[in-house]
Amino acid sequence: MNLIPVILSGGSGSRLWPQSRSLYPKQFLPLVNNKTMFQNTVSRLDGLTNVSEPLVIANEEHRFLVAEQFRQMDQNASAIILEPVGRNTAPAVALAAIKSLQVSGSKSLAVENEERVSENPESDPVLLVLAADHVINDVAAFHRAIDIALPAAIAGKLVTFGVVPTHAETGYGYIKANSEQKDEPVNRPLNTDFQSVFTVDHFVEKPNLESAEQYLASGNYFWNSGMFMFKASRYLEELKAFHPEILKVCEKSIAHEHPDLDFVRLNEDEFNACPDDSIDYAVMEKTADAVVVPLDAGWSDVGSWSSLWDISAKDEQSNSVQGDVILHDTHNTYVRSEKKLIATVGVDGLIISESDDAILISTKDRVQDVKKIVEKLKREGRSEAKLHRKVYRPWGAYDSIDCGERFQVKRITVKPGAKLSLQKHYHRAEHWIVVKGTALVTNGDEVTLLTENQSTYIPIGVAHRLENPGKFDLELIEVQSGSYLGEDDIVRFDDIYGCA
C-alpha cells in the first residue's frame, strides 16, 4: 500500500511574532534546532517504508519558501498545491486526496456520476496528514504509531493520532476514546508501547482548567494532534456525505488547475467560493469510522513562546537562551537574540525575542496576546506584520539595511545561475556595487560583466536585469534614490519566476 505524506503548510504563526511573519511564518524558521520546522517534518519521514514524496498544501504567497526548503534538503515534493486563499484544513486535505488519486492513476469521487476509485490498492493511496510546524522528539515512537494506524486506515477507518497528555492543558482540543472494556482507561502510563486502535467517542473543544484536570484523571482523553491517516477515497466519501459543497468546489478547482514551475495553481475564482471548515468539524466529528491511535512521542505544536520555552533546553535557573545573551539574577525566562547582545538583570518569567527589526517583551502567562500586537500592526498597515527586514526571493534575498527621505540601501544576494526579472522603474534610479562574486548586468541596450568593487548606474525608466553567471553567491549593495521607493514601482517585461 502506497503511503503519501500530506504536509499542511498554510499557517501564519502570529503568536510567535516577531520571528514569525505572515509572509515568513514559523514553519520556515529554525526554532528548535538548525533545521526549519518544515524540514524537520519532512526529515522525520525517513525510515518509513513504502512512502512516496510528500504532497504539500501551501499558501500561494509561500510558494518559493516551500520550494527552497526542499532544495536545501536536496529532496523533491510529489506536488506543491497552492491555495489562493486559506479555507482551513477540510478543503486542504480534500485537494490532497483528489490530487493523490489523480497521480496514482485513479479517478476521484466524481460528484456528478458517483464513480468510485478502482479496487486496485495502489490506485487508492493512504494519506498521512501532518502539520508543517509540529515538534516530535521521539521519531521512533512516531513511526510505531504510524505502523499501528496503517492497517486500520487500509481497512477504511479514519485515524486520528491522540497525544498522551502530560498535564491538564487548556490550549488544546481533546479526543475521548472508547476503552476496550467498560470503565477501563485507555490512556496507559507514559513510555508504554500502545498496541491498540480505539474508537472515538467524541471530540472536545479547548476546555477550562477544571475540565482538563478531569480529562487527565479519567485516562480516556488525548490531546487532539491534528494529524490523521486514511485512504484518499474514504476521506472523500465521508466529505461528500457530510459537507458535499467542499468536495464539489475542490473537484472543480483541481479540474481547472494549471502548472507553474514546480507548483499546482488552482482556479482562484472557483476556490474562493469554497466553505471554510476544519477537518474535525467537517468530517471527523460526524463519521462513524473515526478511530484514535495513542501517540507518546514528545509532541508539541509550538503554538506560543511559552510552549517553545517548555520544550527548550534550560539552565539551572530554568532559563532558555538563543544567540548572544548575558543573564544576571534571571529565572524562568526565554531570551532569543538574532542581531544584538541582550542582557537581563533581575527578571523572572519573561519572554524576550529580538529579530532584525522588532523586539518582543512579554510575561509568559500573556503570550497568547501576542496576536493582538500583530492585529494592531495589520490595522496600521505596518510592514512588521508581514515581512522581516530581510526578504527571500526564488533568486536569493535582499536586506533593507538603511532608508530615509528619497533613498534606500539594500544588500542583495543572488544565487548561482539565478536572475532577476527584466524591469524598469518610473520613480527611482539605482546604483549597484558588487561586493562579492560576478554580476551580469543588462542596462538598457548594454550587457556588462561586473566583478568585485565595480559598479554601475541604472537611470530612471531604463530596462535592466541582474544575473549571477558564476558558481558562488553574488552579493552587491544597491542604493536607490528617487521620489518613490515602494516595491510596487516595478514594471516587469520578463520574469522566469512569476512576479519575483
3-class DSSP state of 120:
coil
In the prediction, which pLDDT does 194 show? 47
Considering only residues 159 and 11, tell me which one the structure prediction assigns the higher pLDDT.
Answer: 159
Do residues 467 and 356 both lie within one domain?
A: no
With a cut of 90, say whether residue 191 has pLDDT above it.
Answer: no
With a cut of 70, say whether residue 116 has pLDDT above it.
Answer: no
Considering the domain boundaries, does residue 289 fall inside one? Answer: yes
Considering the domain boundaries, does residue 14 fall inside one? Answer: yes
Considering the domain boundaries, does residue 500 fall inside one? Answer: no
Burial class (CB in 10 A: 0-12, 13-18, 19+), 182: exposed
The C-alpha atoms of residue 468 and residue 413 are separated, in whole angstroms, by 9
| Buried/exposed code over 245-274 (b: 16+ C-beta within 10 A; e: otherwise) | bbbbbbbbbbeebeeeeebbbbbeebbeeb
Residue where one domain finishes, among candidates 278, 300, 322: 300
The C-alpha atoms of residue 92 and residue 83 are separated, in whole angstroms, by 8
Do residues 260 and 338 both lie within one domain?
A: no
- Domain total of the chain: 3
pLDDT per residue over 59-94, tens digit each?
999 998 999 999 999 999 999 999 999 999 999 999
Give 454's Cβ-side CA count (13 Å radius). 11
With a cut of 60, say whether residue 256 has pLDDT above it.
Answer: yes
Considering the domain boundaries, does residue 385 fall inside one? Answer: no
Tell me what the mean pLDDT of segment 288-307 comes to. 95
Range of the domain at 411: 390-494
Domain CATH number, residue 206 = 3.90.550.10
Do residues 293 and 340 both lie within one domain?
A: no
With a cut of 90, say whether residue 419 has pLDDT above it.
Answer: yes
Tell me what the mean pLDDT of segment 470-481 comes to. 97
Give the residue from 278, 27, 16 showing the smallest Cα distance to 134: 27
Do residues 324 and 267 both lie within one domain?
A: no
Residue 114 zone, left/alpha/beta (φ > 0; ψ -120 to 50; rest): left
Tell me what the mean pLDDT of segment 252-273 comes to. 89
Residue where one domain finishes, among candidates 344, 371, 398: 371
Do residues 65 and 200 both lie within one domain?
A: yes
Distance of CA 73 to the CA centre of its chain: 16
Considering the domain boundaries, does residue 187 fall inside one? Answer: yes
With a cut of 70, say whether residue 203 has pLDDT above it.
Answer: yes
Express as a percent the part of the chain with pLDDT over 70. 92
In the prediction, which pLDDT does 111 show? 40
Considering the domain boundaries, does residue 438 fall inside one? Answer: yes
pLDDT per residue over 5-38, tens digit each?
999 998 888 999 999 999 999 999 999 999 999 9
Do residues 222 and 283 both lie within one domain?
A: yes
Considering the domain boundaries, does residue 381 fall inside one? Answer: no
Residue where one domain finishes, among candidates 300, 334, 359: 300
pLDDT per residue over 349-402, tens digit each?
999 999 999 999 999 999 999 999 999 999 999 989 998 988 888 899 999 999
With a cut of 60, say whether residue 117 has pLDDT above it.
Answer: no
257-to-105, 178, 249 alpha-carbon distances in Å: 17, 42, 12
Do residues 73 and 111 both lie within one domain?
A: yes
The C-alpha atoms of residue 282 and residue 313 are separated, in whole angstroms, by 38
In the prediction, which pLDDT does 190 show? 36
Per-residue pLDDT band for 120 (boundaries 50, 70, 90) equals low
Tell me what the mean pLDDT of segment 313-324 comes to. 97
Per-residue pLDDT band for 334 (boundaries 50, 70, 90) equals very high
Do residues 244 and 321 both lie within one domain?
A: no
Spatial CB neighbours of 106, under 8 Å, sequence gap ≥ 6: 117, 118, 120, 123, 124, 233
Do residues 331 and 355 both lie within one domain?
A: yes
Do residues 136 and 236 both lie within one domain?
A: yes
User: Mind giving me the DSSP string for 153-176?
Assistant: HHTT-EEEEEEPPSS--SSS-EEE
In the prediction, which pLDDT does 497 show? 76
Per-residue pLDDT band for 182 (boundaries 50, 70, 90) equals very low
Considering the domain boundaries, does residue 379 fall inside one? Answer: no
Domain CATH number, residue 414 = 2.60.120.10
With a cut of 80, say whether residue 109 has pLDDT above it.
Answer: no
Do residues 318 and 286 both lie within one domain?
A: no
Do residues 236 and 352 both lie within one domain?
A: no
Tell me what the mean pLDDT of segment 110-139 comes to. 75
In the prediction, which pLDDT does 498 show? 65
Burial class (CB in 10 A: 0-12, 13-18, 19+), 409: middle
In the prediction, which pLDDT does 496 show? 78
14 strand-pairing partners: none
In the prediction, which pLDDT does 494 show? 86
The C-alpha atoms of residue 179 and residue 292 are separated, in whole angstroms, by 11
